[in-house]
Structure 1
Amino acid sequence: MIRGTVRQVAALRWRTGGLLLAVLVIVALPYMIMRGGSRQALDAGELVTRAAEVQALVYRIADQTYDSEAAIQHLLADDPYARGEETVQNAERLVPNLLDQLHRLVADNAEQEHLVEQLSAVENGRLALLHQALQRYKHNDAIGAGQALRDAGNLFRIDDIASRLVGSAELQLQHRREAAQQLSRDSSTALALTAIAQLVMLTIVVVVSERQIGKRLRAEIGERQAVQRSQMILQAVREPIALLDNSLRTLLVNAAFSELYGVSEDSRAEYLDDIGQGAWADEVLQQRLRDVLLRDRELWDYELTQRTIDGVERHVVINARRLQQQDSENPVLLLTVSDVTARALVEQQVKELNHQLEGKVVQISDVNRELEAFSYSVSHDLRAPLRHITAFAQKLELHLGDDVDVTTHHYLGVIRDASQRMAQLIDDLLVFSRLGRGALRLQAVDMQSLVDEARMLAESEVPDRHIEWQVDPMPVVVGDENMLRTVWQNLIGNAVKYTGQTRTAYIRVSVEHGESGDFEFTVSDNGAGFDMRYVDKLFGVFQRLHKASEFPGNGIGLANVQRIVSRHGGRVWAEGEPGQGAQFHFTLSAVEPPVANEWVSP
């Protein structure tokens, strides 16, 4: 219904817009054309007047000049009525003003302005010679005055320039007349086109109006069909739905509501607290529903335990919101009910499982503390005999002095080395155990600084070796800095160690950003390598693929690497070939690593 109303409003707006456009075309457009034609006609008249003024000014300037020359000639002829001096003075006073007016009139025409400048130059020169002729006449130099008068006519001719200027004005006048005629024709054409446009617009308005009427009739039919479909959907929904008035009386209920609470689908004006044999008698709920109606507060996920008409106690979640009716000022209440009995039972089971899990966590914490105490005890109890063995071996060697034979010296050295190796194994095993129990201290870790630190540490242990490094720029990740430092020290240290028998060691540290968003780090070398048939033993505790006499070590470093990377949510793997070097890979998430499962250290 709302959608149909929106369409009707939109259609009305389009129809109104079309009518306004038609009015604009029919009324305003002819007015604008006539107004534009009138303005252009006035402009053309003004231009014609200006052309006539240009011609008149040119003629006046020429007349003033010729009058001055004629007056001087009368003076030379001893005409008693000649007013030569007055005429020349008038010309000298009027001609500059007339030239200024002429300049202003032709300011918008470059060609005429150039001609006026030439005319000004000629006039100024001619008036100057006329003035000279008058002065010579006053000094009784009639011959000089006549010569100046002849020079003025010969040197500064104004007829040609004046004719060209008048001809230019006449040509411009002719062009303006032709433009006026073209404007008249254009106006006639525009009026004809406007009449055609008016007919077209009126036709469009009529056609659109008829179509809109037809669309409105079809929309009303579609709206009735939509209401029927909405009612079908409402009745088919298995979630109980009811529509209540402002007194909490039923206006409409669907089949699910009727089935659950025993109310007829056709019932009207039945109070909510009388439905379902008191299922809705909860006073708090009714007050909340009234608040929804009065204050337009939506009710979300209100949990209630109800005994429905079938005698079953159900856990339900109630939602309600206020709706405004189009044909009434009184609001209505849309009420929906969700049966969450099964969910409530699951939540109860989850609570019980959580309680059991908390007990298991306590047990695991106790076991971890016991293991910590056991590790400390084992470490202390094992180190004491080792210290005794080492101490008494040293004392025995001192007691025997320099007379000890080579075999005895060798045996004492084996005892001493074995005890030191055993102490190192105990320390490594304790470190491996702590890696599984300690909490991750997550922070931003600059892998570049860790790689550089591990590289310098490894090089300091073999200062006489030649190693060529290739290190890619490393990213910043989120992880435990101390643990990741251990990873790099083990992998780079192994690369340096297992290239010890090569003349020139080539070690590359690279990184790639995978499609999954994880970083894949790789440490490659050209060292001893390994047989891929035994790759599964690489990351085991105390597992070694080379003899201790060839390459020293305890076989626990890669186990530490695997445990650290696993706790960061990544994985570790290796590739190699005997005598051809090895590549060790591990991955880390580009974001904060997932919380790894804590386990009890063996």
Structure 2
Amino acid sequence: MDVVRRMSRWAKLSEPGFISFLFQILLGAVIVLIFWILDGLLDYLLFGGRPLSEYLLASDSHEDFALVLFLVGGLLLYSRRAHRHEAALEQALQAALDEAQKERAKMESIFEALGEAVSIQDADLRVLYQNPAHRRMTGDNIGRYCYEAYRKESEPCAGCHLLASFEDDKVHRAELGPEASATGGYVELIGSSLKGKDGKPLFGIEVVRDITARKLAEKETAALNAALTHQTTELQQANQELEAFCHAISHDMRAPLTRVYSSAQELRGYREQLDENGRFFVDLVHDGCVQMEALLDSLMVLCRVTEVELSCTSFDLIPAAQEIAAQLRQEYPGRPVSFLAPDGLTVYGDPQLLRVVLENLLSNAWKYSNKVDAPVVELGTQRTEQGETAIFIRDNGAGFDSTRAGQLFQPFKRLHTYRDFPGTGLGLATVRRIVRRHNGRVWGEGEAGRGATFYFTLPG
């Protein structure tokens, strides 16, 4: 321990301040000694008669020496106090420098941790600092002017975002393309400023973001939108042509069909005069006219549901369903179908178009269950896996092959023969078009010989 104390004391004695203090003491002693010798030598030269040593040791010389010693001591004390004050100032300055260094290190740590590329520039746009992300993006340009380093210009760029921030103290943004940016891609520049108490700019902080991916995505989105707009225009034109075609077919074919139908009706009055083959062909023409009339009516309905504007409101679907069921019972009096439905089912949509949906689905359920002993048709709701509320119409009739479910809603596609189940093949296509106009979806599930269930949703 003694050795440690001696080494500690020697370390303190070796400090620059203590050495300076010893030097001042020695310097004062030398000054006093020189003054003492000069004083004795001056008395010896002026008065003489005695040896020089007596003048040096005379009492008045001691008094002078004491006065000089007092002055030198005071000077030394003042010098020591000034030295301590200077040491305290140096210590405070060092502490301030250490604190500033810590803050700088903290700031650099924050900037280095950021994913953004950050640089700091002085009021003359000279680069003072770059974080690693900025150096990776633009290279090491510390000490260079930004316009020289990034744009190969000899003076500040026109419309510089940092100079604008220096003027109004606001955040300014700019975007550069591959032809102007230092990265060779699209970048976004965000500039802000730090000003002193006098309002003059001290530093400019610049954040550089690589927005190449975003710009390419925007261009791709714009191209897709343009293509989609073009396709939408073509689709609208095709729909208009299809509607015009449907109208032309429905109207232009109705007149000759009426003549054929009327002739077939007249020929049926001559059944007794015709043989069996003649009666067969007359009935065949008559039934074909009836089927064609139904097909034309279905085409008109399909065109009408496309043209009509939606007039949506909230209403109860059950009264319309009960009315349609009553009409179907009258059309098929020999078929005791049990119809099950809830007391109320409020939906949001176009009442007229949704009635068409019910008419098609309920008539299909009635038709395809005509060969079972106890036909049952049910209307209700069910929660889907996607969290939607789906309205369903279920029957226990003929059903269908589930592997061909994708053909159900295609126009003129039939999964059963016309002889077994007459129809036009447009009912489900009309249902799908109406449901899609309500931004919903429709699908069917079934099994051959075990009935079918058709679902549709109405997001509104």
TM-score under structure 1 normalisation? Answer: 0.48
Partner of 1:586: 455
- Residue of 386, 389, 403 corresponding to 1:516: 386
Larger radius of gyration: 1
CA shift at 1:281, angstroms? 0.9
> C-alpha separation between the residues in 2 aligned to 1:457 and 1:302?
66
- TM-superposition CA deviations, 1:186-207 (whole Å, max 9, x none): xxxxxxxxxxxxxxxxxxxxxx
Within 5 Å, give how 1:308-457 maps onto structure 2: 314-321=185-192, 333-341=204-212, 343-345=214-216, 347-348=218-219, 350-352=221-223, 354-396=225-267, 404=273, 407=276, 411-429=281-299, 431-432=301-302, 441=310, 443-446=312-315, 448-449=316-317, 451-457=318-324
Counterpart residue type for residue 338 of structure 1 = R
Q: Does 1:469 align with 2:339?
A: yes
Counterpart contact for 1:505–1:526, Cα < 8 Å:
yes
Q: Is the 8 A contact 1:320 1:334 kept in 2?
A: yes
Which digits, 9 at most, give the CA deviation of each residue in 1:355-408, with x for residues without a partner?
Answer: 45544444444433333333333334433332221233345556x5x9645855
Superposed counterparts of 1:38-49, under 5 Å:
none
Post-superposition Cα deviations, 1:289-333, rounded to whole Å, max 9, x if no partner, equal 23552xxx333x5323486696x765421223456899x997754
Partner of 2:17: none
Partners of 1:363 and 1:536 lie apart in 2 by 25
- Which amino acid in structure 1 is aligned with residue 443 of structure 2? V
- In structure 2, how many angstroms separate the alpha carbons of the residues matched to 1:281 and 1:531? 73
- Structure 1: how far apart are the matches of 2:457 and 2:214? 38
Equivalent residue for 1:240, pick from 117, 120, 125: 117
Letter in 2 for 1:285: H
- SS of the aligned residue for 2:191 comes to strand
Separation of aligned partners in 1, 2:162 and 2:391: 63
Tell me how far apart the structure 2 counterparts of residues 272 and 259 of structure 1 sit (CA, whole Å).
16
CA contact (8 A) 1:510 1:522 kept: yes
Give the whole-Å Cα distance in 1 for the aligned partners of 2:404 and 2:111.
Answer: 67
Deviation at 1:523, TM superposition (A): 1.8
Deviation at residue 263 of structure 1 after TM alignment: 6.2
- The answer to whether 1:302 aligns with 2:178 is no
- Note the alpha carbon deviations across 1:482-521, whole angstroms, 9 max, x for none: 4433222222222233444566543321212335221122
Count residues with an aligned counterpart: 355
Deviation at 1:251, TM superposition (A): 4.7
Secondary structure of 2:380's match?
strand
Structure-2 residue corresponding to 1:281: 157
Question: d(CA) in 2 for partners of 1:282 and 1:356?
Answer: 37
2:423 is aligned, of 553, 559, 563, to 553
325 and 441 in structure 1: CA distance in 2 versus 1, 3 angstrom threshold: farther
Instruction: Give distance in 1, aligned partners of 2:249 and 2:314.
Output: 34
Residues 482, 302 of structure 1: alpha-carbon distance in 2 compared, 3 angstrom cutoff: farther
Contact (CA 8 Å) 1:292, 1:321: kept in 2 or not? no
> Is the Cα–Cα contact under 8 Å of residues 260 and 308 in structure 1 kept in the other structure?
no
Who is 1:113 aligned against? none
Per-residue CA distance 1:27-73 (angstroms, 9 max, x = gap): xxxxxxxxxxxxxxxxxxxxxxxxxxxxxxxxxxxxxxxxxxxxxxx
In the alignment, the residues of structure 2 paired with residue 223 and residue 440 of structure 1 have an alpha-carbon distance, to the nearest angstrom, of 72
Tell whether the 8 Å contact from 2:147 to 2:157 is kept in structure 1 after alignment: yes
For residues 181 and 259 of structure 2, the distance between their equivalents in structure 1, rounded to whole angstroms, comes to: 85
Structure 1 pair 554/261, CA: closer, same or farther in 2 (3 Å)?
A: closer
Query: Quick one: structure 1 residues 481 and 282, their matched pair in 2 at CA, closer, same or farther if it must change by over 3 Å?
Result: farther
Amino acid paired to 2:322: R
- Residue type of the partner of 2:457? L
Q: Tell me, what secondary structure is at the counterpart of 1:234? A: helix
Given the superposition, is the C-alpha separation of residues 228 and 484 from structure 1 closer, same or farther in structure 2, using an over 3 Å criterion? farther
Distance 1:471 1:309 in 2: 69
How big is each residue's C-alpha offset from its partner over 1:417-468, in whole Å with a ceiling of 9 and x where there is no partner? Answer: 2112112223324544676x6588384453x32x431331231232456544
Q: Percent same amino acid at aligned positions? A: 26
- Is 1:491 the equivalent of 2:367? no
* Rounded Cα–Cα distance in structure 2 between residues aligned with 1:457 and 1:545: 24
**Aligned-partner SS, 2:386:** coil
Q: Secondary structure at the match of 1:334?
A: strand
- Structure number with the higher helix fraction is 1
SS in 1 for 2:423: coil
Q: Report if aligned partners of 2:246, 2:299 keep a CA contact under 8 Å in 1.
A: no
Q: How far apart, CA to CA, are the structure 2 residues paired with 1:535 and 1:356?
A: 31
CA distance in 1, matches of 2:228, 2:425: 36
8 A contact 1:242–1:252 mirrored in 2? yes
* 1:523 alignment partner, SS class: strand
**Cα distance in structure 1, aligned partners of 2:234 and 2:179:** 42
CA distance 1:396–1:308, change in 2 (3 Å): closer
| RMSD of aligned Cα (Å) | 4.5
Q: How does 1:93-172 map to 2 (within 5 A)?
A: none
One-letter identity of the residue aligned with 1:454: A
Tell me, in whole angstroms, the C-alpha distance in 2 between the residues paired with 1:533 and 1:314. Answer: 51
| Structure 2 unmatched ranges of 5 or more | 1-97
Q: What does residue 326 of structure 2 align with?
A: 459
Match among 233, 236, 252 for residue 129 of structure 2: 252
Distance 1:519 1:334 in 2: 55
Amino acid at match of 2:361: L
After the TM superposition, which residues 39-118 of structure 1 pair with which residues of structure 2 at under 5 Å, given as runs?
none
| Structure 2 SS opposite 1:462 | helix
> In the superposition, relative to structure 1, how do residues 347 and 387 fare at CA in structure 2: closer, same or farther (>3 Å)?
same
Q: TM-score, normalised by structure 2?
A: 0.60
